[in-house]
Structures are given as structure tokens and as C-alpha cells.
A and B are shown apart, each in its own frame.
Chain A
Amino acid sequence: MKAVCWWGKTEVRVVDVPEPEILNPHDAIVRVTLTAICGSDLHLYDGYVPTMMRGDILGHEFMGEVVEVGEEVTNLRAGDRVIVPFPIACGRCWFCENRQWSLCDNTNPNAWMIESLMGYSGAGLFGYSHMYGGYAGGQAQYVRVPFADVSPLKIPDGLPDEKVLFLTDILPTGWMAAENCEIEAGDTVAVWGCGPVGLFAIRSAWMQGAGRVIAIDRFRERLRLAQSDGRTEIVDYSEVNVFDTLKEMTGGRGPDRCIDAVGMEAHGHFPDAVLDRVKQAMKLTFDRAHVLRQALHCCRKGGTVSIPGVYAGFVDKVPLGTAFGKGLTLKMGQTHVQNYTRMLLEKIMSGEIDPSFIITHRVSLDDAPEMYRTFRDKQDDCVKVVMRPAA
């Protein structure tokens, strides 16, 4: 089968690889009908996530048709159409039972790698490096889905793939970003970054009762999409001072809730793998934590800063004194996708939201190498790339 493989820094290849097989009793095999490149895949592409190996199959946003199930999977059968959340959850550990699916104890076979870095390991992820489990991803014609009895959600016939694909990651991620803000009626929510997660955070903030939403970016197409709901206000940070502008827009008070939907290029110190990348990564840290610092600075006293953007290593010069002085609440983490899929599917079916509005590029799997580059460089007004693996 065809699969998009990581081949080293800024190189992906479409390679003919063997088809996946059932390895464990709770596995299923899914024939992928639609998959996407995620902004966080660019961290892998740019070589900032340690423990990637040449030949690893990429992709954690994918959906398709079940073709085979393991003996312990009783809720799915061949022919079912499913979306597959990106964190792999066992459904049985203490964390899963407490609905913290992305912190699952049992799905990362390489947990020791992350433990050496962070103390404890969360869930295994599809196509996201060996320290996150080393699972083959879904930018392929077929994919093995472990614990298929827990997370995949069946999609009714008649709903096009493009409307439901983003239930796998970015739509729930945008929703949880807003939820972590604990928005109260009349709140002003500021969202840094109008990529797919930021755009969904904006829509989610409105759905969760925000009084105003302000979007901050500099790419015209992204600001246009943010504004397309007719009520989100925009700030182009390349033209104005963000702090002054936000302060002025909010009567000198500051936004009540701030969302950092940018994050930074993930990086980390992994004992034997990345010493040579550390300097480069550290330099990046100084550059890219800018949004987090700015959000902490801009947020009103007693407000909330929610961080859906990915951080993976150490961040320097975070104004913790500011956060303390203003009594801020910080919430962050990988999305517990499984908590939101059913509810968001209903919103899609009722027409309350159509997530496909962010798609700018529809291509085949063979176009992956070019599309990674286009997306990374934000050329051609690229916001979201979806790929059809079928030949």
C-alpha cells in the first residue's frame, strides 16, 4: 500500500509498504478514505521532535472504513465508517475512566522514553514519533487502530468525509481550548493564531457564549476565514502593537480569556538522540514562545490563558510573575478528543457548524511531499490540506 513516510528533516516520501495486520485482540484495520496534514505534523517535518526514524508512517487525522476487527472488538464490524481520535486510549485505566483519554496509562509501548524526559507518559499517538509509541500513522491507504473498541466513532451515511474528518483532532482541540477558558456570558476571548485550531477555537468560543472574539494573526487568508462568521474582530500583529490594541479594544481591561493556538516548534532533550539539535531547538524556543508571553501579558486580571498549541520542551523567560500578579489560570494539554466527538458530530449534523470551511487544498496521497512544503511555508494561502489515499 501507499504510505507517507518521514524520511528525515524536511523530507517526506510516498513509499510502497506492506499492509498493516491485526496484532492485538482489540485492534481493527481501517481503509483510509480521507486524511489531513496537521500543523503539529510540521514539527515532525521540520525535525524538532526527537525519536523519529526514517520510514515512519505519518498522520494522526484520518477516517475510513473498517475492513477487519480483532477478536475482542465487538462494537465495530467490517463496512462501518469511522473517525479515529488521534490519542490512543485503552478505556480501562484510571485516567480513561476519569475521561482524561490523552493521559492513558496503557497505550504507549515506549513510555520509558517520555518518562525520561517528562517524568510520566501520556497516551500513545498515531504517527507521532517513537517516544509517543511509534504507531504507524494514517496518511496511508490502510492503518491499524489499537483499542478500536474504545475511541473510533461511527459516522452515519450521508455525511461527507470532509465535514467529519476534523472530529479526529482539530475540531475537539479548538473546542477544548475554548472550554478550558471557562467562558462566562459577555466574556471577550482573544485567540492568537488563525490556523485550523485557532479558527475552531473562535467558532467554539462563540458557541460557548463569548460576548466578543478577537483573532490575532498576520496571514490575510487566515484573518479572512476568522472574520467569515461576520462577527469576529481581527488584529493584524504585523501592523499594530498587540497589547496596546487589545487594551484599547477592551476599555483598558484586557481580554477575559486568551487562547494560544500557536504553540512552538516541539523540541526536547532526549538523552542519546538529539544533543545535536538542542542548540537549534533552544534558539527556536526563544523565538516562538512569544505568543505565550504576550497572552500572559495581555490577559485581564483574574482571567484564563488556555494553551492548545503544542509545547514539548523547556520555555525560557515566561513571565510567571505576571501570571501570579494577575491571578491568572492556565490550562493546557493534549486534547481528550473522545469527550467531544459525539457532541460535536451532533452539532455538525444539525448544521450548527460545518468544519470543512477551513479546507484550502484537496489532493491525493502522492502530493504529500509538495503539500508538506506548501503548508509549512504557508504558500498558496494554504490553511488545511486533506488527502484522498484511494488510487
Chain B
Amino acid sequence: MQTEKNVNIPERWASVLLGSALATYGLKSRSRGGFALSALGGVLAWRGATGHCMIYQALGISTNGEQRQGEQVSVPYGKGIRVEKAVTINASPESLYAFWRNFENLPRFMCNLEAVECHDSLRSHWVAAGPAGMSVDWEAEIINDIPNELIGWRSIDGSKVDNAGSVHFNALPDGRGTEVKVVLRYDPPAGLLGAAVSKLFGEDPAMQVQEDLRRLKMLVETGEIATTEGQPSGRKIA
């Protein structure tokens, strides 16, 4: 995520005009508050001129729908939160593809997923843990499937949670394993359901995906996930 354009054209013009006006007004007023206003104006104008908004970047949002066309994602680009993470795993693309292709394996390393049940080779039912003991569920279908290379899926129309994802398996040279890259996108709904979905992806969605991928790596490479939960300490006196 460098300085990609994540602001659309009309919004960029608005940003430049409003920013310049604020900057001019602020400077003219010659007060402390005026300088603060002009600084804000400057930032807005810069945002408009470059088309890159740091707040949008922090939030993972883009209003610029023109980019990324042609990139192989199973998700139409638009609003919502997008996360992309990669991990290198000491295993073949074949074995990793086979492991992931059975979606019922996903809850073994995605810590907020409770269960996935496959209806047939394309359709599946997902259940995720939400706050206060509630759970949220949706139906998903596989929309892209190239054996040993990539799998793409999305929630089917009418789901309570719009989300989509894809995983790419890239063999690395000279016995260096496989790069596993995951792209996830979801539209957080409002209200309680939104809170549940937010929990699913964690407070920091990128971190959540990274840690899920770390667990996948541990599971595939070693057959277990490293833990210290349940070990003794002086905090639990015998």
C-alpha cells in the first residue's frame, strides 16, 4: 500500500477546492485557529492533488473504482474492506491446494471461524463466532478454481454478510516452498450483525489474516499449532 490513488475524481476536485479555500481563509485570519484551518486545508488540497487519502488507506477504503482492473481477484472492486497477506510454507502447491480446497479445514486455523460445512463441491455454509456468544452464518460458493493455483469464493446473493476471498498458491524455486497469498474483502453491515462481522475479522483485519496464515503454516508444516495455553505459571498457585 504505497501511494495508490484511493480517491475518485469528483471527490479529488472537491478536496482541492475546499482545501484551497480553507487554506486561504485560514492564512488571512492570522490567528492560531486560522493557521490550524489552513493546515487542514493544505492536507485536503494535497489529498485532492495526489488522489491519495491517508485516512482511507488506514481504513482500507477506496472510492476510486478505476484501479486494479485486470488483477485476478474473485471480488469486484468497490467499497468495503480489503486485506491481502502472504506467507511462505514449506509444502507443495498441490498439498496446500488440496488442504484449502476442503473448506471444512478452514476453522482449524482461522480462529474466529466456528465451522464450515460443504454441501457439494461448490457450495458451503459458514458459521463465525460473534460477540456475546452470538454467531453469524452465511452461504458461500466457489467462483474460481484452478487446481494447485488458486481458489476464489464469495458469499451468495442475499447473504447477511457480503464477503469474498481468494487464495493463490505460487511455487517458489529451489525447494523454497510455496507462497500462499490470501485476498479477503467484506462489506461490514451496520448494527449488531456488523459487530459480529467485525469480530470475525478482528479489530485489525490485516493482523487477523496474518495470524490465521501463521497458524495454517504451523499446522501444515508441523501438524500442530504452537501454544502455551494451559501451561503452569506462578499466576495459578497449586
- Using a CB–CB cutoff of 8 Å, the interface residues on chain A facing chain B are 1, 3, 5-7, 13, 15-21, 23-26, 53-57, 72, 90-94, 97, 105-109, 111-112, 124, 133-136, 140, 144, 146-147
Distance of A317 Cα from B184 Cα, bound (Å):
45
CB of B228 within 8 A of CB of A97, answer no
The answer, among B222, B230, B235, for a CB contact under 8 Å with A90, is: B222
The answer, among B214, B227, B231, B237, for a CB contact under 8 Å with A16, is: B237
CB of A109 within 8 A of CB of B238, answer no
CB of A15 within 8 A of CB of B214, answer no
For the complex of A and B, the 6 pairs showing the least CB-CB separation, nearest first, are A55-B234, A5-B234, A55-B235, A15-B234, A17-B232, A24-B224
Query: Which of chain B's residues have a CB closer than 8 A to the CB of A144?
Result: 231
The answer, among A6, A20, A72, for a CB contact under 8 Å with B231, is: A20
Residue of A nearest to B229 (CB): A23
Distance of A97 Cα from B176 Cα, bound (Å):
11
CB of B228 within 8 A of CB of A134, answer yes
Give chain A's interface secondary structure class: loop
Query: Which of chain A's residues have a CB closer than 8 A to the CB of B177?
Result: 94
Chain B interface residue number, banded: 20 to 34
The answer, among A15, A20, A106, A112, for a CB contact under 8 Å with B221, is: A106
CB of B88 within 8 A of CB of A94, answer yes
Residue of A nearest to B207 (CB): A112
CB of A92 within 8 A of CB of B221, answer yes
The answer, among A57, A72, A133, for a CB contact under 8 Å with B232, is: A57
Determine if B223 is an interface residue (Cβ-Cβ < 8 Å): yes
Query: Which of chain B's residues have a CB closer than 8 A to the CB of A23?
Result: 227-231
Query: Which of chain A's residues have a CB closer than 8 A to the CB of B225?
Result: 24, 109
Give B69 Cβ to nearest chain A Cβ, in Å.
33
Q: Which B75-122 residues have a C-beta within 8 angstroms of A? A: 88, 90
Determine if B233 is an interface residue (Cβ-Cβ < 8 Å): yes
Query: Which of chain B's residues have a CB closer than 8 A to the CB of A15?
Result: 234, 237
Distance of A6 Cα from B233 Cα, bound (Å):
10
Distance of A107 Cα from B232 Cα, bound (Å):
18
Give B231 Cβ to nearest chain A Cβ, in Å.
5
Give A185 Cβ to nearest chain B Cβ, in Å.
35
Query: Which of chain A's residues have a CB closer than 8 A to the CB of B238?
Result: 1, 16-19
Give B68 Cβ to nearest chain A Cβ, in Å.
27
Query: Which of chain B's residues have a CB closer than 8 A to the CB of A112?
Result: 207, 210-211
16 further A-B contacts with Cβ under 8 Å, apart from A25-B224, A108-B226, A136-B231, are A5-B233, A17-B233, A17-B237, A18-B238, A53-B235, A57-B234, A72-B223, A90-B218, A93-B217, A97-B90, A106-B221, A109-B225, A111-B214, A112-B211, A124-B226, A136-B233
CB of B217 within 8 A of CB of A105, answer yes
Determine if B236 is an interface residue (Cβ-Cβ < 8 Å): yes
